[in-house]
Amino acid sequence: MAADPRALVGRITKRFKRRFWGRTFRCPVCHLELSLHDLDAHGLVVCPLCGVVLELDLPYGHAVPVVHDVEIFRPQPTLRLHPMATHIPIGLYPFALLGALLLAALSVAGALGLDLRPVVLGTTTLIEQAILIILVLSVAFSLVTAASGLWDWTFRYRRRRYAQINLKIVTGAAFLAVGAIAIALHVSGLVFSQVTGLMDLASPAGVLAGLLYLAAMAAGMVLLATLGHVGGNLVFGR
């Protein structure tokens, strides 16, 4: 049903997986979803979550993984920087997006002749500045998150190519890019008026900049949610 957002997300995810991951199967021990692309030249894969060494066969197209061994020693950094750092962008970014949506709504109301600024006690310029600070902090800390994630991938996962980690690397880079675009648009003064703190919807350039800004912010949220979801799977399993 189109009205069911969970079903819609499920369909999008399914198509995405089919397109980029191809055939998937689950680790019979921890249930983590793995891709055929994760197998090495010998048809083996070490599950990034539980560490079992799996060999896969596809009799009649059925995925039949066999557990041969388990990797017990998995280097764990003493300072768990990646899981700690990841909470900052994930925790802060939604507030930046909510603030931007609030200002966009007030701007549209203003353009329609409804001055709703008193609803937020006339603090629109303050909100606009807060959005920028939160946005900069999110993107800056995501640099730390990305760097610590690459460190973990190198030492804990021994730079093995997993579809889940590839996805994290790609979405992490994409988040940094859209975050940088959103910050650039914000500080350029094209989106928000420095006097009112609202979007300039009177000029086509202002409308275009506002739409681009909101699109970049929304895309950043989707990417961040994907990063968090995949990261959670890799740590906690299904």
Partner 1 sequence: MHFDLDAEQHELVERAREFTREWISPNAAQYDRSGEFPLEICRQAFRQGFMNPHIPPAYGGAGHRVLDHCMVMEEFCTGCSGIATAIDGNGLSQYPVILAGTDDQKWRFLAPMTEQLMFSAYAVTEPEAGSDVARVKTAAAKIGNDYVLNGVKWWITNGSVASWYFVLARVEDRPTGFLVRADSPGIVRGPKEHNLGQHASNTVRVTFEDVKVPEANRLGGEGDGFHIAMKTFDHTRPGVAAGANGIAKAALNIALSYAKRRRTFDKKLISNQGISFKLAEMMTRLDAARFLTYKAAWLFDQGRDNTREAAEAKWFAADTAMQAALECAQVLGGYGYTNEMPAEKLIRDAKIYQIYEGASEIQKMIVVSKLMRFKEVH
Which residues would be at the binding site for partner 1 (CB under 8 A)? 23, 26-28, 31, 55, 57-68
- The helix (run of H) or strand (run of E) holding residue 45 is strand 44-46
Find the shortest distance in angstroms from Cβ 49 to partner 1. Answer: 13
d(CA 12, CA 127): 34
Question: How near is the Cβ of 21 to partner 1 at its closest, in Å?
Answer: 12
Between CA 56 and CA 222 the distance in angstroms is 33
Min. distance of Cβ 58 from partner 1 in angstroms?
A: 8
Q: Minimum distance between the CB of residue 57 and partner 1, rounded to whole angstroms?
A: 5
Beta carbon nearer to partner 1, 43 or 232: 43
Q: Give the residue with the Cβ less far from partner 1, 145 or 164.
A: 164
Distance in Å, CB of 70 to partner 1, minimum: 13
Between 69 and 115, name the residue whose CB sits nearer to partner 1. 69
Q: In the 3-class helix/strand/coil scheme, how is the chain assigned residue by residue?
A: CCCCHHHHHHHHHHHHHHHHHCCEEECCCCCCEEEHHHCCCCCEEECCCCCEEEEEECHHHCCEEEEEEECCCCCCCCCCHHHHHHHHHHHHHHHHHHHHHHHHHHHHHHHCCCCCHHHHCCCHHHHHHHHHHHHHHHHHHHHHHHHHHHHHHHHCCCCCCCHHHHHHHHHHHHHHHHHHHHHHHHHHCCCECCCCCCECCCCHHHHHHHHHHHHHHHHHHHHHHHHHHHHHHHHHCC
Q: Which is nearer to partner 1, 68 or 229 (CB)?
A: 68
Nearer to partner 1, 68 or 158 (CB): 68
DSSP bridge partners of 54: 45, 67
Is 31 or 156 the residue whose CB approaches partner 1 more closely? 31
State the minimum distance, in angstroms, from the CB of residue 41 to partner 1.
17
Smaller CB separation from partner 1, 67 or 108: 67
Q: Label residue 171 left, alpha or beta by phi (over 0 means left) and psi (-120 to 50 means alpha).
A: alpha
Closest separation in Å from C-beta 228 to partner 1: 24
